Structure 1
Amino acid sequence: MLRRKPWVFLLVILFSQLSLSILLGATVTYGAGYAKAPEGLTVWEKDLGGMTKDEAYAVLAEVIPKAVVYDRTVYFLELNQTDQDLKDYLASQYIISTGNVITDAFEYLHRMSRTIPSPELLNQEEVLAQLRKFALDIDQPGKAAEAYYENGEIVIEEGSLGVRLDVDKSWEQLQQSIGMETVPLVTEVIVVHPTTAELEKVKDPLGDYTTYFNPSFHERVTNVRLAAEAINGLILPPGGEFSFNDTVGKREPERGYLPALMYMGNRVVTDDGGGICQDSTTLYQATKQARLEVLERYSHSLPVSYVPLGQDATVAYGALDFRFRNTTQGYLLLNAATGGNWIRVRIFGVADSEHPALDEPDGYPVKPREWSK
């Protein structure tokens, strides 16, 4: 019969005692901490160690932002999914009994040894949807300043700044606002051009030209005045391009244009909008005075009476256009006015060495028998 060495029995006894001690310790620890958060569990800067699930929920629910604010208006957040996410997270941190106290005890010790990351403060999908809804109330497009020439002076109507809710940055701010019940929203100011300050610089007359027409041709006079109204008050930014056809639009009866005499090739015909080439020509002469860059211009095939030969600018919608670029450093204001037998176009802007202020207006007077078609 083999005899076991004494030290083997000693090891068996020591191992048995150690196992019993661990089991008893785990059982005791579990018994003391059952249904309580593991020691050292910190969520959103709050130590939840030793708290029950209800206690932990009460503490964490207090630090979740409940509302956002913009310009003294408070928008309350609906946090149903956020609340459920928090409850689900806490449930995952507490022991669900298996019915075996030893198994539960070891599971508790295992959870104490783990580092579990904190959950999101808010449910992103839920909150972003509400922020976008709030943006519909907060966002404002702003208004550009306007200017017009009246009674010998430039009158400015002030504009306003716009505002836009920055949804992404507002979300980030909410995520970093632990413990704040109401969180300011992040907005962006929108500057709408031209601003009042930009238009206040538009003071100098750069171009001023007048041409004359026969007031007895009612249809033609009507067309000239309609086109002048379309041009009047237009504001062109630095570097901006002006298109006569885009500005005046189609010369249609629905818009008030009447059939009148006009040149078509080498013939004189009657068509809607006849006569408005006098508007484009008068504007062309003013742009020459202002030393602006002409991008597109065509002359009539036949001479006209309201400017010298070759100094006109004919237009035909969809075919021939008169275009120029604002080559000054500031905004331009166009003023087009008509009288009993004249049309006058002024260009106001910011004078510089390349675009000096005009000393006096100019024009091309004609005799009554020389009225153009």
Structure 2
Amino acid sequence: MLRRKTWGLLFAILLGQLLISILAGASVTYGAGYAKAPDGLVIWGKDISGMVQEEAYEVLIEEIPKAVIHDQTIYPLVLTQTYQNLHDYLTSQFTISTGNFITDSLEYLRRMSFSSPSPQKLYDEEIVSQLKTIAQSIDQEGKASRVYYGDGSVVLDRGSAGVLVNVERSWEQLLQSDGLEAVPLITEVIEIHPTTAELAKVKSPLGDYTTYFDPYFYERVNNVQLAAEAINGLLLPPGEEFSFNDVVGKRDPERGYLPAYVFLGNQVGIDDGGGICQDSTTLYQAVKQANLQILERHTHSLPVSYVPLQEDATVAYGVLDFRFRNSTQSYLLISATTGKNWIRVRVFGQSDSRHPLLQEPDGYPVKPEDWLSDPK
């Protein structure tokens, strides 16, 4: 029994001496290098084992991107909080000696067996706000292309695509950058429709029709001109529907329309906007030449003088409309111009087998002398 106690006491003494030796060795090691990184400390793929804090800091800040770049323009980043976070993290890894043998030895052993996760390479709140500010100077809304008829031909004004900085993806790319001084921003190109390529196809005359009116009916001429201005220059995308009433709108006095003669059933009366059926009719004739899909058309209750019988297209806001669909493969341009006693409507687009190039314009004179005011 005594022998067992003796062996137990001896074992405890030896174990204590071993522990003291380990702690003493750790203490010596820690005392000589407590300001150095513990073995196995890897941050952002960089092994900083044995480095002093200042040395580790200089190595790691080289891994942090200092700027972003777009279109050869460099935008420096303010990294105050990012650098502070890195400094604080390293300070936590480089614990200074307390002067207590046991405490310092245990701390060294703990740091050898455990390392806290690496800090985020960039402080998100600091950087993301800067990316948003930079984006404001780069983002562009873009400009739609424009096409119109002028000086005897179709004129194309080229537009431009929009540019938008993708802040979220740019932020992710910054986090994944490895030692790049300036990281390219990720941008998206925003196509603005209609594009130049789309409108470049709008060059072929598909329909061209002229009708004439009496220039001495001032109110009626006024209304014809206002409605022509409303439809002039309109671009209709492929497959889209045109509604005369939607485009021209209400024929109210507030919009400049005047009372003029109209057909009311089988009688002639006075109403605001009288005369604009000549606009819808002339447009109908040009659309028919272009072989477009007619969706809605109505004829007057009485014959009109500006087109042959049953070749008109009457309209009444909220009641009767003239509608057609752009059944071509490109945009359509509608040109509506007026003169002293005429209105001319042209339809331009991309010709094909179903919508052939118009060879000659057409029209319907009221009297032969009306052709003296030949529209150009």
Q: TM-score if structure 2 supplies the norm length?
A: 0.88
8 Å contact kept, 1:207–1:346: yes
Q: Counterpart in 2 of 1:85? A: 85
Which residue does the alignment assign to 2:371? none
Separation (CA, whole Å) in 2 of partners of 1:129 and 1:27: 47
Query: Which amino acid in the other structure matches residue 197 of structure 1?
Result: A
User: Equivalences for 1:230-241 in 2 at 5 Å?
Assistant: 230-241=230-241
Deviation at 1:97, TM superposition (A): 5.4
Question: Which string of whole-angstrom CA distances, capped at 9 and with x for unpartnered residues, describes residues 213-268 of structure 1?
Answer: 11111121122112212222222221222222332233344443333223345554
C-alpha distance in 2 between matches for 1:25 and 1:171: 46
Look up the match of 2:333: 333
1:30 maps to a residue whose letter is Y
Residue of structure 2 equivalent to 1:16: 16
Identity %: 68
Quick check: 330-339 or 298-307, which moved more? Answer: 298-307
CA distance in 2, matches of 1:171, 1:87: 22
Deviation at 1:185, TM superposition (A): 1.3
Q: Does 1:359 align with 2:356?
A: no
Opposite residue 279 of structure 2, the aligned amino acid is D
Query: 2:248 — aligned with what?
Result: 248
Structure 1: gaps (5+ residues): 369-373
* Alpha-carbon separation, structure 2, partners of 1:366 and 1:97: 109
The answer to whether the 8 A contact 1:64-1:180 is kept is yes
CA distance in 2, matches of 1:84, 1:293: 69
> Given the superposition, is the C-alpha separation of residues 234 and 54 from structure 1 closer, same or farther in structure 2, using an over 3 Å criterion?
same
What amino acid sits opposite 1:140 in the alignment?
Q
Question: Structure 1 85/312 Cα, relative in aligned 2: closer, same or farther at 3 Å?
Answer: farther
Distance change (3 Å), C-alpha of 1:363 and 1:40: same
Matched, 1:123 2:128: no
Give the whole-Å Cα distance in 2 for the aligned partners of 1:298 and 1:99: 102
Alpha carbons 1:297, 1:314 under 8 Å: kept: yes
- Contact 1:170 1:185 (8 Å CA) reproduced: yes
Q: Which stretch shifts more, 24-33 or 217-226?
A: 24-33
Corresponding position of 1:274 = 274
Which residue of structure 1 lines up, in the alignment, with residue 295 of structure 2? 295
1:3, distance to aligned residue in structure 2 (A): 4.2
Q: 2:20 aligned with 1:25, yes or no? A: no
Question: CA offsets, 1:64-123, max 9 Å, x none?
Answer: 222222223332222333233223322332326566331232122222222433222112
Letter in 2 for 1:28: V
Residue 319 of structure 1: CA displacement?
A: 4.2
Query: What is aligned with 1:193?
Result: 193
Distance 1:327 1:362 in 2: 22
Q: Is the 8 A contact 2:211 2:364 kept in 1?
A: yes
| Alpha-carbon separation, structure 2, partners of 1:135 and 1:296 | 48
| Distance of 2:176 and 2:245 partners within structure 1 | 54
Q: Which moved more, 1:282-291 or 1:94-103?
A: 94-103
SS of equivalent residue, structure 1 residue 119: coil
Distance change (3 Å), C-alpha of 1:186 and 1:344: same
- Equivalent residues in 2 for 1:86-125 (5 A)? 86-95=86-95, 100-125=100-125
> Following the alignment from structure 1 to structure 2, what is the Cα–Cα distance between the partners of residues 268 and 229?
26
Aligned pair in 2 of structure 1 residues 277, 51: CA closer, same or farther (>3 Å)?
Answer: same
CA distance in 1, matches of 2:295, 2:25: 92
Distance 2:5 2:284 in 1: 119
Partner of 1:156: 156
- The match for 2:44 is 44
Is the alpha carbon distance of 1:81 and 1:258 closer, same or farther for their aligned partners in structure 2, counting shifts above 3 Å?
farther
Given the superposition, is the C-alpha separation of residues 269 and 81 from structure 1 closer, same or farther in structure 2, using an over 3 Å criterion? farther
Any conservation in 2 of the 1:206–1:357 contact (CA below 8 Å)?
A: yes
Distance 1:135 1:266, change over 3 A: farther
Tell whether the 8 Å contact from 1:95 to 1:104 is kept in structure 2 after alignment.
no
State the number of aligned residues.
Answer: 368
Decide whether the 8 Å contact of 2:34 with 2:96 is kept in 1. Answer: no
TM-aligned CA distance change 1:110 to 1:155, over 3 Å: same
Give 1:288 deviation, angstroms: 1.6
Post-superposition Cα deviations, 1:268-294, rounded to whole Å, max 9, x if no partner, equal: 443332221211121122112212122
Q: For the Cα contact (< 8 Å) 1:238–1:328, is it kept in 2?
A: yes
Q: Trace 1:210-221 onto structure 2 (pairs within 5 A).
A: 210-221=210-221
Distance change >3 Å, CA 281–CA 101, structure 1 → 2: farther
Q: 1:204: which partner in 2?
A: 204
Distance 2:297 2:97 in 1: 89
1:76 aligns with 2:76: yes
After TM superposition, the score normalised by the length of structure 1 is 0.89
- State the SS of the aligned residue for 1:235: strand
Question: What's the counterpart of residue 223 of structure 1?
Answer: 223
For the residues of structure 2 that align with 1:112 and 1:90, how far apart are their CA atoms? 15
Provide the alpha-carbon RMSD of the alignment: 2.5
Structure 1 residues 335, 179: CA separation in 2 closer, same or farther (over 3 Å shift)? Answer: same
User: Following the alignment from structure 1 to structure 2, what is the Cα–Cα distance between the partners of residues 294 and 249?
Assistant: 20
What residue ranges of structure 2 are gaps of 5+ in the alignment? 369-376
Q: Give the match for residue 314 of structure 2.
A: 314
Partner in structure 2 of residue 371 of structure 1:
none
Change (3 A) 1:358 1:106: same
